[in-house]
Amino acid sequence: MNPILHKIVETKHSEIERSRGKRLPTRSIPIQNWKSHLKTSSVSVIAECKKGSPSAGVLRPEYDPVSIAKDYETSGAGAISVLTDELYFFGSLGDLDSVARSVSLPVIRKDFILDPIQIDEAYAYGASAILLIVRILTPEQLRSLLAHAHGLGLSVLVETHNEREVNIALDAGATTIGINTRDLDTFEIHKNLIEEIAPKLDPSIIRVAESGIESYEDWQKYKGVIDSMLVGTFFMKSQNIKRDFHNLLNGSK
C-alpha cells in the first residue's frame, strides 16, 4: 500500500475509535434514489465537492460546498459526492449535512470507510450513498459493509482499479462499480482502464468512470460502456463551474 494511503487508513482507525459511543443526529431528510439519477439515457455526472487532496494540496481556497452543490444541481448533475475526510481532504461531516439539505439529488459520502460506524454517520448526516474502496478492504469487510449500508437503505459505489478488484466487488454483491483510473499506490492515471474493464460488466451494473476526466474528449471514448462519471478536480479548479460543466458534457465549440 502506498505510504500516503497507509497513513490515511491508520488515521481512519484512530478516528473510528474516537467516534465510538458518540450520539449521532436523527436523520430528517429522505434518501434519494441513486439508480434513477445515474442509470439514465445519457452519461450522468457525479459532481464532487472537495477542497483539496494530499497529492494536489488545496484546490479551491474559497470553498463553499453548498454553493458548489447548487451549481452542480442546476447544471444537471445526477448526484453529488462530498469529501468528508478532514485531515487530508479538508472536508467534514458538516459539509455532507449542509449539501444533503440544500439539494434534491443523491449525495454520496466519499471517505475511507472501514467500519459500520462510518456508514451510520453517513446515514445520520444525510447521505443517500457511500463509497467503499476495494483496495483498503478485505473481501469479508467489503461484503459486511455493503450489507450494513443496504440495511440502512443506502446505495454503495464500490471503487476498483483492476479486474481482480472488480471480481471481488461483484462477488460481494456490488451493483455500482467505480473504475478508478488513478492507481492509489502510485497516483498515476491509466486512462485506458475504463475501455478495458467496463465493457466486460453486465449492463445491469451502474458503471462509473473515476479520475482523469477533464474534457469532453476524455469521456467521449467511454460512451456506450459507462453510465456515469465522477468528476472532482476539474470542477474544483474551475472559475465558472456552470460554464465548464456545460462544456464538459457538450464540448466547448
Choice among 110, 128, 155, 165 that is catalytic: 110
DSSP 27: P
Asked about 48 being catalytic, the answer comes back as: yes
**DSSP β-ladder status, 206-210 and 79-83:** unpaired
- Domain of 97, in residue numbers: 3-13+37-250
Please tell me the predicted confidence (pLDDT) of residue 102.
98
If residue 5 lies in a helix (H) or strand (E), which one and from where to where? helix 3-19
Grid cell, residue 2, equals 502506498
Look at residue 234 and tell me whether its pLDDT is greater than 80: yes
Please tell me the predicted confidence (pLDDT) of residue 190.
85
Asked about 7 being catalytic, the answer comes back as: no
Instruction: Give the CATH number of the domain where residue 223 resides.
Output: 3.20.20.70
Asked about 180 being catalytic, the answer comes back as: yes
User: Is 29 domain-assigned?
Assistant: no
Asked about 210 being catalytic, the answer comes back as: yes
**pLDDT tens profile 125-175:** 999 999 999 999 999 999 999 999 999 999 999 999 999 999 999 999 999
User: Is 55 domain-assigned?
Assistant: yes
Look at residue 249 and tell me whether its pLDDT is greater than 80: yes
User: Is 20 domain-assigned?
Assistant: no
User: Is 121 domain-assigned?
Assistant: yes
User: Is 24 domain-assigned?
Assistant: no
User: Is 219 domain-assigned?
Assistant: yes
**pLDDT tens profile 10-58:** 999 999 999 998 999 999 999 999 999 999 989 999 999 999 998 889 9
Choice among 15, 73, 121, 159 that is catalytic: 159
Smallest Cα–Cα separation from 114: which of 138, 94, 92?
Answer: 138
Asked about 22 being catalytic, the answer comes back as: no
Residue the block writes with cell 466486460: 200
Grid cell, residue 69, equals 452543490
For the chain, the domain total comes to: 1
Grid cell, residue 235, equals 470542477
Are 155 and 35 contacting, i.e. CB atoms less than 8 angstroms apart?
Answer: yes
Residue the block writes with cell 492515471: 189
Please tell me the predicted confidence (pLDDT) of residue 241.
97
User: Is 23 domain-assigned?
Assistant: no
Give the separation between CA 65 and CA 83, rounded to whole angstroms: 10
Choice among 44, 53, 211, 228 that is catalytic: 211
Look at residue 253 and tell me whether its pLDDT is greater than 90: no
Choice among 12, 39, 50, 51 that is catalytic: 50
Grid cell, residue 250, equals 457538450
Largest CA distance in the chain: 55
Give the separation between CA 216 and CA 202, rounded to whole angstroms: 25
Give the separation between CA 253 and CA 142, rounded to whole angstroms: 43
Question: Residue 15 CB: number of other CB atoms within 10 A?
Answer: 18
User: Is 163 domain-assigned?
Assistant: yes
Q: Calculate mean pLDDT across residues 79-107.
A: 97
Smallest Cα–Cα separation from 177: which of 159, 163, 162, 204?
Answer: 159
Q: pTM score, two decimals?
A: 0.95
